[in-house]
Structure formats: C-alpha cells, structure tokens
C-alpha cells in the first residue's frame, strides 16, 4: 500500500491521492511519521460496504435459524437500551 505524507498531501492535494491509487485500491496517509488515515476510491468503498451488509445479513439469518433472537415491543426494546446506558 502506498503511503502519502501529510505534507505531500498539503502541497500536491488530490493529485497525490490519484497517483497513489493508480497502483492499488487504497493508500495510507501518514501524519508526522505515523499512519493515520486510509483513502480509497469510491468504487472500492462501495464494494466493501456491500460486503459488510452481506455479512450482517448472513449473521442475522444464522441467528434467526438458531432461534437466537428476542421478540419484544418497541417500548420494551427502548427501555432495555435506556437501562443499559445508565
């Protein structure tokens, strides 16, 4: 993964990101020598979001199939959330 120094990003702007992403899907932004951020093109971001949603759907279907869920009213659910925050 290509690393872009924050100073390079300040001076060269989006051009530095575009060049870094030309060789891969993501690039690291380094601030004072420490990796702090990751940038990627929007197509890769959207692909990852779809993967996350598919994984969540799979997990939910597994929980339903195994009976690992609770049926309750909205009011009961909100009360449970409020009690857990206290």
Range 75-80 average pLDDT? 96
Burial 42-79 (b: 16+ CB within 10 A, else e): eeeeeeeeeeeeeeeeeeeeeeeeeeeeeeeeeeeeee
Q: What is the pLDDT of residues 39-55, one digit of tens each?
A: 999 999 999 999 999 99
Reported pTM:
0.69
More confident residue, 1 or 34: 34
pLDDT at 40: 96
Range 6-22 average pLDDT? 95
Continuous segment of H or E residues that includes residue 55 = helix 42-66
Name 80's Cβ contacts closer than 8 Å, sequence gap at least 6.
72
């Amino acid at each position: 993964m290509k690393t872009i120094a924050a100073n390079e990003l300040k001076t060269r702007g989006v051009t530095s990101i575009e060049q870094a992403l030309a060789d891969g899907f993501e690039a690291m932004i380094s601030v004072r020598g420490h990796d702090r951020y990751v940038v990627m093109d929007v197509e890769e971001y959207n692909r990852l979001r779809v993967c996350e949603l598919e994984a969540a759907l799979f997990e939910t279907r597994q929980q339903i199939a195994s009976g690992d869920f609770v049926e309750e009213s909205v009011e009961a659910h909100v009360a449970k959330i409020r009690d857990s925050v206290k």
